[in-house]
Chain A
Amino acid sequence: MFDLETAANPEKLRRIAIDPVSRVEGHGKVTLLLDENNKVHQVRLHIVEFRGFEKFIEGRPYWEVPVTVQRLCGICPVSHQLAAVKAMDIIAGFGPLPATAEKLRRLMHYGQILQSHAVHFFHLASPDLLLGFDSEMTRRNIIGVVADHPELATQGVLLRKFGQEVIRHVSGKRVHGTGAIPGGVNKALSAAEQAEMRGGIDAMIKWSRDAVQLLKRLHHGNPEFYNRFGAFDSSMMGLVNGKGELDLYHGGLRARDADGAILFDHVDYATYDSLLDEEVKPWSYMKFPYIRAIGPEHGWYKVGPLARVQVCDRIPSPLAEVERQELAALGQGRPVHGTLLYHWARLIEMLHACEVIRDLLDDPDITGTTLMAEPGPRVEEAVGVIEAPRGTLFHHYRVDEHDMVSFCNLIVSTTNNNQAMNEAIRSVARQFLTGREITEPLMNHIEVAIRAYDPCLSCATHALGKMPLEVELLDAEGRLLQRRAHNMAGAA
């Protein structure tokens, strides 16, 4: 170490230090356990979770948290910012937000939904869906889509960019801006910014509609496959507003069982820990949340687009609502549970996000200048919940009398979907495992199932699609039969 520091030209030497904040694992590992009859008995998806982050937050001042928690995720930082700030509004003692502040936060949030869903569908999912699951790995990426469907690829890029611009106008930066602060927001939207976004939104609505139509065409081409792929029954959970409509920014918790019956409704999310519990399993770093009243074995649930559009009674924007009804009709009165239908639901939400953005931009409140709520007495503990692109996101904090965070608990969307992802993989493995061999098609199908959930396996690298996938096959005695790895498709 010291000879480096005393070297003649130290500025010419390079040192690599491991930053504990950026030390996130980018690795998906799946273990398939067989029974005596060589049928898939159990599946284990191993994900490294970011529990360390909670310790990082503890001992920090509360007003800093909405900004620093954004480092948790490179794709949905805004969701973390908003979930945290919703808790800190309460902790700091602020009353109800002025209309402008809440609408600006909503604008930023729906911009985040738009950009994240666009990245997911166009960059990560469309190569599988358009080019085929078993198409050549080197082509099964966005570059391959550009070659075969140039217009679509361009629209994908522009949809994402539009979402990023919405975020930038509210938060000051495309990623990791500030924007929301306890009690409101720090910046008004100028008329010029409003006009700029308003000028672009109609094209975004059209392209989002086109994307839904495209997905429907793909589905109609092979409905059986789409409906059955990775299908499994489960409960579903998401936020709804007071009228039971989809609301991705705020609402009460609602869950339905696999048949669509309401399990609980309009539950104040501040009571989440009496509603949900988290099970620890020895083989996974990530916990398994479940509904307490049902118990760990059957109480797990799905979150995210497919859960949300079926948990709500309707979507409060006309174009997306028409699409929701069409998706719902598929189940003939019963919810649908096919893993690939996540993509369909995600695109409906993307369309909804565009409609909401348009309506917010047309709302005179959006350029208002009353940005902060009235302060009141400090509170010790609060919960903030939001529907992040991948599903329900919980932030729970306690703050001591000196304004420092003394406790922090996060349940991220991917954790909420933990058991569901395992079930999806199990369903796919049962469908596509033949004999005792991990074939390339099996790998591909497992990969497609994981991707439908868009898990934050690794915040930084997964966006680039460079996540390596490793699958291992164990017999009934736990002996390793085979191990196979490949880089997930999507790497450009």
Chain B
Amino acid sequence: MSEIPNSFTLDGQLVPFEPGQTILQAALAAGHYIPHLCSSPELKPHGSCKLCTVVVNGRHGSACTAHAMPGQDVQSDTPDLNGKRRLQVQMLFVEGNHFCPGCEKSGNCKLQAVAYDLEMLNPHFPHFFPQRPVDASHPDILLDRNRCIMCEQCVEASRDIDGKEVFGLAGRGLASHLVVNSPSGLLGDSALEAGDKAANICPVGAIVHKRVGYAKPIGARDYDTLGIRAQARAAAEGEGP
């Protein structure tokens, strides 16, 4: 049991938290990175990608949904958990069509950044090469479902922040896919606007602004100099006292 009230241990290190914070929020605030893809500070956590799975007092749970409690013993950065995370990320890669070398999100993509962090060297599984429609009907926004990892962030952002419900997930399992709420099912007929949160939250290159891809040169992209883990640390230090 830790001595400071409102703290827990993460991989043996003491992490303070504010009442109400999740384990992931407290860890990130203290500069400790736990891999995650479907949660974002601006959204209510829904725990779908399972990448943030940690072991809390001997039991597996999602760090993005589990509340921080005094004295918890949390394991995250272990070979076993990271190995499982790597497999999960590899599955995400082969389930969609993620061609990093040509993708405009390359260098700015959270999926790619997490893959690097987890030292994923190959896709391991055979690619599914699914057929997924691209929706270019919107004047400013491109929806390329090939790259969607179904994290639901756009769904939530549209519903909870933009108040529009433009996106939804339909189908189950491998048939899951992102649908657009409009008479034609096309983005161009929806209420989405370029300034909406939903148009700016996608962690991968599935919802992108048109005509501006590759504007950031290699070397100046989000993850070119600092990896996603180092950035989490730097962000916490920047906001610290």
B214 to chain A, nearest CB (A): 5
Other-chain residue from A178, A403, A404 in contact with B218 (beta carbon distance below 8 A): A178
B208 to chain A, nearest CB (A): 9
Q: With contacts defined as CB atoms under 8 Å apart, how many contacts are there between chain A and chain B in the complex?
A: 73
User: By the criterion CB–CB under 8 Å, are A403 and B101 in contact?
Assistant: no
User: By the criterion CB–CB under 8 Å, are A67 and B104 in contact?
Assistant: yes
User: By the criterion CB–CB under 8 Å, are B137 and A21 in contact?
Assistant: no
User: By the criterion CB–CB under 8 Å, are A64 and B136 in contact?
Assistant: no
User: By the criterion CB–CB under 8 Å, are A402 and B137 in contact?
Assistant: yes
Question: Are A404 and B136 CB-contacts (below 8 A) given A11-B124, A172-B217?
Answer: yes
Question: Are A187 and B219 CB-contacts (below 8 A) given A21-B99, A63-B211, A404-B134?
Answer: yes
Q: Does residue A59 face the partner (Cβ distance < 8 Å to B)?
A: yes
Tell me, in angstroms, the Cα distance from A68 to B146 when the chains sit together.
15
Q: Does residue A479 face the partner (Cβ distance < 8 Å to B)?
A: no
Other-chain residue from A10, A61, A67, A171 in contact with B87 (beta carbon distance below 8 A): A10
A98 to chain B, nearest CB (A): 15
Chain A contacts of B136 at CB under 8 A? Answer: 61, 402-404
| Secondary structure call for the B interface | loop
User: By the criterion CB–CB under 8 Å, are A403 and B219 in contact?
Assistant: no
Q: Does residue B171 face the partner (Cβ distance < 8 Å to A)?
A: no
A451 to chain B, nearest CB (A): 29
- Which residues of A in the span 212-242 have a Cβ within 8 Å of any Cβ on B? none
Chain B contacts of A172 at CB under 8 A? Answer: 217-219
Tell me, in angstroms, the Cα distance from A93 to B216 when the chains sit together.
20
| Secondary structure call for the A interface | loop
A186 nearest CB neighbor, chain B only: B217
Tell me, in angstroms, the Cα distance from A404 to B102 when the chains sit together.
16
Tell me, in angstroms, the Cα distance from A57 to B80 when the chains sit together.
41
User: By the criterion CB–CB under 8 Å, are B124 and A63 in contact?
Assistant: no
Chain A contacts of B217 at CB under 8 A? Answer: 172, 178-179, 186-187
Chain B contacts of A404 at CB under 8 A? Answer: 134, 136
Chain A contacts of B125 at CB under 8 A? Answer: 5, 15
Query: B154-181, CB under 8 A of A: which get 1 and which 0?
Result: 0000000000000000000000000000
Tell me, in angstroms, the Cα distance from A70 to B220 when the chains sit together.
21
Q: Does residue B15 face the partner (Cβ distance < 8 Å to A)?
A: no
User: By the criterion CB–CB under 8 Å, are B124 and A403 in contact?
Assistant: no
Chain A contacts of B134 at CB under 8 A? Answer: 59-60, 404
User: By the criterion CB–CB under 8 Å, are B214 and A186 in contact?
Assistant: yes
Tell me, in angstroms, the Cα distance from A403 to B101 when the chains sit together.
21
Chain B contacts of A70 at CB under 8 A? Answer: 102
Question: Are A61 and B210 CB-contacts (below 8 A) given A11-B83, A11-B124, A15-B126?
Answer: yes
B136 nearest CB neighbor, chain A only: A402
Chain B contacts of A71 at CB under 8 A? Answer: 101-102
User: By the criterion CB–CB under 8 Å, are A186 and B83 in contact?
Assistant: no
User: By the criterion CB–CB under 8 Å, are B215 and A186 in contact?
Assistant: yes
- Which residues of B in the span 5-39 have a Cβ within 8 Å of any Cβ on A? none
Tell me, in angstroms, the Cα distance from A355 to B203 when the chains sit together.
45
Tell me, in angstroms, the Cα distance from A402 to B217 when the chains sit together.
25
Query: B125-155, CB under 8 A of A: which get 1 and which 0?
Result: 1110100001011000010000000000000
Tell me, in angstroms, the Cα distance from A181 to B127 when the chains sit together.
30
Chain B contacts of A402 at CB under 8 A? Answer: 136-137, 188
A3 to chain B, nearest CB (A): 14
Q: Which of A21, A71, A172 has the most CB of B within 10 A?
A: A172
Q: Does residue A177 face the partner (Cβ distance < 8 Å to B)?
A: yes
Q: Does residue B185 face the partner (Cβ distance < 8 Å to A)?
A: no
Q: Does residue A176 face the partner (Cβ distance < 8 Å to B)?
A: yes
B217 nearest CB neighbor, chain A only: A187
Chain A contacts of B214 at CB under 8 A? Answer: 63, 67, 178, 181, 186
User: By the criterion CB–CB under 8 Å, are B213 and A173 in contact?
Assistant: no
B87 nearest CB neighbor, chain A only: A11
A165 to chain B, nearest CB (A): 14
A259 to chain B, nearest CB (A): 45
Residues of A within 8 A of B (CB): 5, 10-11, 15, 17, 19-21, 59-61, 63-64, 67-68, 70-71, 92, 171-173, 176-179, 181-182, 186-187, 402-404
Q: Show 22 residue pairs from A and B whose CB-CB distance is below 8 angstroms, ordered by the A residue.
A: A10-B124, A11-B83, A15-B126, A21-B99, A61-B136, A61-B210, A61-B213, A63-B213, A64-B104, A67-B102, A68-B99, A68-B102, A71-B102, A172-B217, A173-B218, A176-B101, A178-B214, A178-B217, A186-B215, A402-B137, A403-B210, A404-B134
Known: A63-B210, A181-B214, A186-B214. 7 other contacts (CB 8 A): A5-B125, A10-B87, A11-B83, A71-B101, A177-B218, A178-B214, A187-B218
